[in-house]
Structure 1
Amino acid sequence: MTTHIFELKGTWTKGRNASGHITTDNLSTRVSIPEVMDGPEIGTNPDEMLLGAASTCYMITLAAMIERSEIDIERIEVESKGYVEVENDIITYKKIEHFPIIYMQEEPDEQLHHTLNRLVQKAEESCMVTRALAGNVEVIATGEVRF
Protein backbone atom coordinates (compact mmCIF):
# COMPACT_ATOMS: atom_id res chain seq x y z
CA MET A 1 0.00 0.00 0.00
CA THR A 2 1.19 3.50 -0.86
CA THR A 3 0.17 6.53 1.17
CA HIS A 4 0.38 10.04 -0.24
CA ILE A 5 0.40 12.95 2.18
CA PHE A 6 -0.73 16.38 1.05
CA GLU A 7 -0.01 19.34 3.29
CA LEU A 8 -1.67 22.70 3.72
CA LYS A 9 -0.58 25.50 6.03
CA GLY A 10 -3.10 28.10 7.09
CA THR A 11 -3.30 31.24 9.16
CA TRP A 12 -6.36 33.18 10.33
CA THR A 13 -6.30 36.61 11.91
CA LYS A 14 -8.90 37.77 14.42
CA GLY A 15 -12.59 36.76 14.34
CA ARG A 16 -15.24 35.35 12.01
CA ASN A 17 -15.32 38.24 9.54
CA ALA A 18 -11.58 38.52 9.11
CA SER A 19 -9.60 36.53 6.58
CA GLY A 20 -6.89 33.96 6.40
CA HIS A 21 -4.32 32.61 4.03
CA ILE A 22 -3.60 29.06 2.91
CA THR A 23 -0.55 27.65 1.19
CA THR A 24 0.20 24.28 -0.38
CA ASP A 25 3.02 23.26 -2.70
CA ASN A 26 1.03 24.59 -5.68
CA LEU A 27 -1.52 27.01 -4.23
CA SER A 28 -1.35 30.22 -2.25
CA THR A 29 -4.52 32.20 -1.66
CA ARG A 30 -6.50 34.23 0.81
CA VAL A 31 -9.65 32.76 2.34
CA SER A 32 -12.69 34.09 4.15
CA ILE A 33 -16.39 33.54 4.56
CA PRO A 34 -18.32 34.31 1.35
CA GLU A 35 -20.51 37.40 1.13
CA VAL A 36 -23.65 35.28 0.69
CA MET A 37 -22.99 33.97 4.22
CA ASP A 38 -22.43 37.48 5.58
CA GLY A 39 -18.66 37.31 5.26
CA PRO A 40 -16.12 39.71 3.80
CA GLU A 41 -15.58 37.74 0.53
CA ILE A 42 -11.79 38.01 0.59
CA GLY A 43 -10.19 35.40 -1.63
CA THR A 44 -11.82 32.02 -1.94
CA ASN A 45 -13.82 30.09 0.64
CA PRO A 46 -14.27 26.48 1.79
CA ASP A 47 -17.40 26.02 -0.36
CA GLU A 48 -15.57 27.01 -3.54
CA MET A 49 -12.56 24.93 -2.58
CA LEU A 50 -14.65 21.80 -2.01
CA LEU A 51 -16.37 22.39 -5.35
CA GLY A 52 -12.98 22.96 -6.98
CA ALA A 53 -11.61 19.73 -5.53
CA ALA A 54 -14.64 17.75 -6.69
CA SER A 55 -14.68 19.34 -10.15
CA THR A 56 -10.98 18.98 -10.91
CA CYS A 57 -10.95 15.40 -9.62
CA TYR A 58 -13.95 14.59 -11.79
CA MET A 59 -12.42 16.25 -14.87
CA ILE A 60 -9.08 14.43 -14.47
CA THR A 61 -10.81 11.09 -13.81
CA LEU A 62 -13.04 11.50 -16.89
CA ALA A 63 -10.04 12.42 -19.08
CA ALA A 64 -8.10 9.38 -17.85
CA MET A 65 -11.05 7.03 -18.49
CA ILE A 66 -11.57 8.41 -21.99
CA GLU A 67 -7.86 8.00 -22.72
CA ARG A 68 -7.83 4.41 -21.38
CA SER A 69 -10.80 3.69 -23.66
CA GLU A 70 -8.65 4.93 -26.57
CA ILE A 71 -11.19 7.56 -27.56
CA ASP A 72 -9.76 10.61 -29.32
CA ILE A 73 -11.25 13.87 -28.05
CA GLU A 74 -10.37 17.53 -28.46
CA ARG A 75 -11.06 18.67 -24.90
CA ILE A 76 -13.39 18.49 -21.93
CA GLU A 77 -15.06 21.50 -20.35
CA VAL A 78 -16.81 21.09 -17.01
CA GLU A 79 -19.20 23.44 -15.27
CA SER A 80 -19.87 22.42 -11.69
CA LYS A 81 -22.37 23.73 -9.18
CA GLY A 82 -22.33 23.29 -5.42
CA TYR A 83 -25.55 23.55 -3.41
CA VAL A 84 -25.23 24.67 0.20
CA GLU A 85 -28.30 24.89 2.44
CA VAL A 86 -28.67 26.90 5.62
CA GLU A 87 -31.38 25.78 8.00
CA ASN A 88 -31.64 26.83 11.65
CA ASP A 89 -28.11 28.27 11.43
CA ILE A 90 -26.73 24.89 10.33
CA ILE A 91 -24.83 25.04 7.02
CA THR A 92 -24.84 21.82 4.99
CA TYR A 93 -23.21 21.09 1.64
CA LYS A 94 -26.03 19.10 0.01
CA LYS A 95 -25.16 18.45 -3.61
CA ILE A 96 -22.60 18.89 -6.37
CA GLU A 97 -23.54 18.70 -10.04
CA HIS A 98 -21.04 18.36 -12.88
CA PHE A 99 -21.98 19.28 -16.43
CA PRO A 100 -19.15 18.08 -18.67
CA ILE A 101 -19.02 18.83 -22.38
CA ILE A 102 -16.80 16.52 -24.41
CA TYR A 103 -15.59 18.08 -27.66
CA MET A 104 -14.71 15.81 -30.58
CA GLN A 105 -13.51 16.43 -34.13
CA GLU A 106 -16.47 14.63 -35.64
CA GLU A 107 -19.86 13.34 -34.61
CA PRO A 108 -19.59 10.05 -32.70
CA ASP A 109 -21.61 7.04 -33.78
CA GLU A 110 -24.32 5.72 -31.47
CA GLN A 111 -22.03 3.17 -29.78
CA LEU A 112 -19.30 5.75 -29.06
CA HIS A 113 -21.89 8.21 -27.78
CA HIS A 114 -23.21 5.52 -25.42
CA THR A 115 -19.66 4.74 -24.24
CA LEU A 116 -18.94 8.41 -23.53
CA ASN A 117 -22.19 8.78 -21.56
CA ARG A 118 -21.25 5.71 -19.53
CA LEU A 119 -17.80 7.18 -18.83
CA VAL A 120 -19.38 10.48 -17.72
CA GLN A 121 -21.23 8.55 -15.00
CA LYS A 122 -18.41 6.16 -14.17
CA ALA A 123 -15.94 9.03 -13.67
CA GLU A 124 -18.28 10.59 -11.11
CA GLU A 125 -18.42 7.29 -9.21
CA SER A 126 -14.65 6.71 -9.45
CA CYS A 127 -13.37 10.15 -8.48
CA MET A 128 -11.45 10.06 -5.18
CA VAL A 129 -13.12 13.25 -3.89
CA THR A 130 -16.61 11.99 -4.77
CA ARG A 131 -15.88 8.77 -2.89
CA ALA A 132 -14.70 10.83 0.11
CA LEU A 133 -18.02 12.71 0.10
CA ALA A 134 -20.15 9.57 -0.32
CA GLY A 135 -23.06 9.39 2.07
CA ASN A 136 -22.83 13.09 2.90
CA VAL A 137 -23.03 15.05 -0.36
CA GLU A 138 -24.90 13.92 -3.46
CA VAL A 139 -22.72 14.18 -6.59
CA ILE A 140 -24.33 14.08 -10.05
CA ALA A 141 -22.80 14.23 -13.55
CA THR A 142 -24.79 15.00 -16.71
CA GLY A 143 -22.70 15.03 -19.87
CA GLU A 144 -22.90 16.33 -23.40
CA VAL A 145 -20.86 15.57 -26.51
CA ARG A 146 -20.11 18.25 -29.11
CA PHE A 147 -18.22 18.13 -32.38
Structure 2
Amino acid sequence: MNHVFRLTAQWDGGRNSSGTIESGELKTAISIPEPMGGPGIGTNPDEMLLGAASTCYIITLAAMLERSAIAVQSLTLESDGIVDVTNNIFTYKSITHRPLLVLAAGQDEEVRVKAERLAHKAESSCMITRALQGNVDVSAEPTIVVAEQAD
Protein backbone atom coordinates (compact mmCIF):
# COMPACT_ATOMS: atom_id res chain seq x y z
CA MET A 1 0.00 0.00 0.00
CA ASN A 2 1.34 3.43 -0.92
CA HIS A 3 0.73 6.64 1.02
CA VAL A 4 0.59 9.75 -1.14
CA PHE A 5 1.78 13.07 0.27
CA ARG A 6 1.11 16.12 -1.86
CA LEU A 7 2.69 19.56 -1.65
CA THR A 8 1.72 22.67 -3.58
CA ALA A 9 4.17 25.53 -4.02
CA GLN A 10 3.98 29.09 -5.31
CA TRP A 11 7.04 31.24 -6.09
CA ASP A 12 7.09 35.00 -6.71
CA GLY A 13 10.02 35.57 -9.06
CA GLY A 14 13.72 34.88 -9.32
CA ARG A 15 16.33 33.42 -6.99
CA ASN A 16 16.00 36.08 -4.28
CA SER A 17 12.23 36.06 -4.17
CA SER A 18 10.03 34.09 -1.82
CA GLY A 19 7.08 31.78 -2.02
CA THR A 20 4.80 29.54 -0.03
CA ILE A 21 4.23 25.82 0.36
CA GLU A 22 1.28 23.83 1.65
CA SER A 23 1.11 20.15 2.47
CA GLY A 24 -1.48 18.91 4.93
CA GLU A 25 -1.01 20.95 8.11
CA LEU A 26 2.27 22.46 6.84
CA LYS A 27 1.72 25.98 5.49
CA THR A 28 4.70 28.31 5.41
CA ALA A 29 6.68 30.90 3.53
CA ILE A 30 9.90 29.77 1.82
CA SER A 31 13.05 31.38 0.47
CA ILE A 32 16.79 30.97 0.34
CA PRO A 33 18.30 31.56 3.81
CA GLU A 34 20.24 34.78 4.46
CA PRO A 35 23.58 32.98 5.11
CA MET A 36 23.31 31.57 1.56
CA GLY A 37 22.62 34.97 0.00
CA GLY A 38 18.84 34.87 0.03
CA PRO A 39 16.17 37.01 1.70
CA GLY A 40 15.66 34.66 4.68
CA ILE A 41 11.85 34.71 4.53
CA GLY A 42 10.14 31.74 6.13
CA THR A 43 11.85 28.38 6.03
CA ASN A 44 14.10 26.81 3.43
CA PRO A 45 15.00 23.39 2.01
CA ASP A 46 17.92 22.97 4.42
CA GLU A 47 15.73 23.50 7.50
CA MET A 48 12.98 21.34 6.04
CA LEU A 49 15.36 18.44 5.37
CA LEU A 50 16.67 18.74 8.93
CA GLY A 51 13.08 18.94 10.20
CA ALA A 52 12.06 15.83 8.24
CA ALA A 53 15.04 13.84 9.49
CA SER A 54 14.58 15.03 13.09
CA THR A 55 10.85 14.41 13.33
CA CYS A 56 11.23 11.00 11.71
CA TYR A 57 14.01 10.13 14.17
CA ILE A 58 12.18 11.23 17.34
CA ILE A 59 8.91 9.54 16.30
CA THR A 60 10.77 6.33 15.40
CA LEU A 61 12.63 6.38 18.73
CA ALA A 62 9.44 7.00 20.70
CA ALA A 63 7.72 4.08 18.96
CA MET A 64 10.68 1.77 19.59
CA LEU A 65 10.78 2.71 23.29
CA GLU A 66 7.03 2.14 23.59
CA ARG A 67 7.23 -1.27 21.88
CA SER A 68 10.04 -2.20 24.29
CA ALA A 69 7.91 -1.12 27.29
CA ILE A 70 10.55 1.38 28.42
CA ALA A 71 8.95 4.04 30.61
CA VAL A 72 10.01 7.53 29.52
CA GLN A 73 9.72 10.66 31.62
CA SER A 74 10.81 12.98 28.80
CA LEU A 75 12.34 12.86 25.34
CA THR A 76 13.83 15.95 23.71
CA LEU A 77 16.02 16.36 20.66
CA GLU A 78 18.52 18.77 19.20
CA SER A 79 19.75 18.11 15.68
CA ASP A 80 22.43 19.82 13.62
CA GLY A 81 22.58 19.84 9.84
CA ILE A 82 25.89 20.68 8.17
CA VAL A 83 25.91 22.13 4.65
CA ASP A 84 29.26 22.44 2.90
CA VAL A 85 29.90 25.18 0.36
CA THR A 86 32.81 24.45 -1.97
CA ASN A 87 33.27 26.33 -5.26
CA ASN A 88 29.77 27.80 -4.80
CA ILE A 89 28.26 24.28 -4.72
CA PHE A 90 26.05 23.58 -1.70
CA THR A 91 26.13 20.00 -0.39
CA TYR A 92 24.22 18.68 2.63
CA LYS A 93 27.02 16.79 4.41
CA SER A 94 25.65 15.49 7.70
CA ILE A 95 22.90 15.43 10.28
CA THR A 96 23.63 14.69 13.93
CA HIS A 97 20.76 13.92 16.31
CA ARG A 98 21.37 14.50 20.03
CA PRO A 99 18.42 13.10 21.93
CA LEU A 100 18.11 13.58 25.68
CA LEU A 101 16.09 10.68 27.04
CA VAL A 102 15.07 10.78 30.68
CA LEU A 103 13.80 7.37 31.74
CA ALA A 104 11.19 7.09 34.46
CA ALA A 105 12.57 6.66 37.98
CA GLY A 106 13.41 3.19 39.20
CA GLN A 107 14.72 1.73 35.95
CA ASP A 108 17.99 -0.16 36.14
CA GLU A 109 21.22 -0.01 34.12
CA GLU A 110 20.06 -2.79 31.83
CA VAL A 111 17.07 -0.72 30.73
CA ARG A 112 19.28 2.36 30.26
CA VAL A 113 21.65 0.38 28.04
CA LYS A 114 18.72 -0.99 26.00
CA ALA A 115 17.33 2.54 25.58
CA GLU A 116 20.73 3.74 24.35
CA ARG A 117 20.89 0.88 21.86
CA LEU A 118 17.41 1.84 20.59
CA ALA A 119 18.47 5.50 20.28
CA HIS A 120 21.20 4.40 17.86
CA LYS A 121 18.95 1.91 16.07
CA ALA A 122 16.21 4.54 15.53
CA GLU A 123 18.64 6.54 13.38
CA SER A 124 19.01 3.72 10.86
CA SER A 125 15.35 2.65 11.11
CA CYS A 126 13.84 6.01 10.18
CA MET A 127 12.56 6.13 6.58
CA ILE A 128 14.00 9.62 6.01
CA THR A 129 17.47 8.44 7.09
CA ARG A 130 17.12 5.49 4.74
CA ALA A 131 16.18 7.89 1.91
CA LEU A 132 19.31 9.97 2.62
CA GLN A 133 21.60 6.93 2.86
CA GLY A 134 24.67 7.25 0.69
CA ASN A 135 24.22 11.02 0.33
CA VAL A 136 24.08 12.52 3.84
CA ASP A 137 25.84 11.09 6.90
CA VAL A 138 23.26 10.73 9.69
CA SER A 139 24.30 9.85 13.24
CA ALA A 140 22.94 9.85 16.78
CA GLU A 141 24.70 10.96 19.95
CA PRO A 142 22.19 10.08 22.68
CA THR A 143 22.28 11.02 26.34
CA ILE A 144 20.26 8.59 28.46
CA VAL A 145 19.61 9.25 32.16
CA VAL A 146 17.26 7.79 34.74
CA ALA A 147 15.08 10.22 36.70
CA GLU A 148 15.62 10.48 40.45
CA GLN A 149 13.19 8.72 42.76
CA ALA A 150 10.73 11.05 44.50
CA ASP A 151 10.91 10.81 48.27
What TM-score range do you get, normalising by the shorter chain?
over 0.9
Structure 1 residue 53 and structure 2 residue 89: aligned? Answer: no
Structure 1 runs (4+) deviating above 2 angstroms are none
RMSD: 0.9
Secondary structure at the residue paired with 1:22?
A: strand
Q: CA deviation at 1:104?
A: 2.3
Count matched residues. Answer: 146
Task: Look up the match of 2:70.
Answer: 71
Q: How does 1:1-147 map to 2 (within 5 A)?
A: 2-106=1-105, 108-146=107-145, 147=147
1:78-105 Cα deviation digits (max 9, x unpaired) = 0000000000111000000000011223
SS of 2:4's equivalent in the other structure is coil
Structure 2 gap segments, 5+ residues each: none
The range that moved more, 33-42 or 101-110, is 101-110
Using the size of structure 1 for normalisation, the TM-score is: 0.96
The residue type paired with residue 29 of structure 1 is T
Query: Does structure 1 retain, via aligned residues, the 8 Å contact 2:70–2:103?
Result: no
Letter in 1 for 2:5: F
Deviation at 1:75, TM superposition (A): 2.0
Query: C-alpha distance in 1, partners of 2:80/2:86?
Result: 20
Once the two structures are aligned, what percentage of the paired residues are identical? 53
Note the residue ranges of structure 1 that are not aligned, 5 or more in a row: none
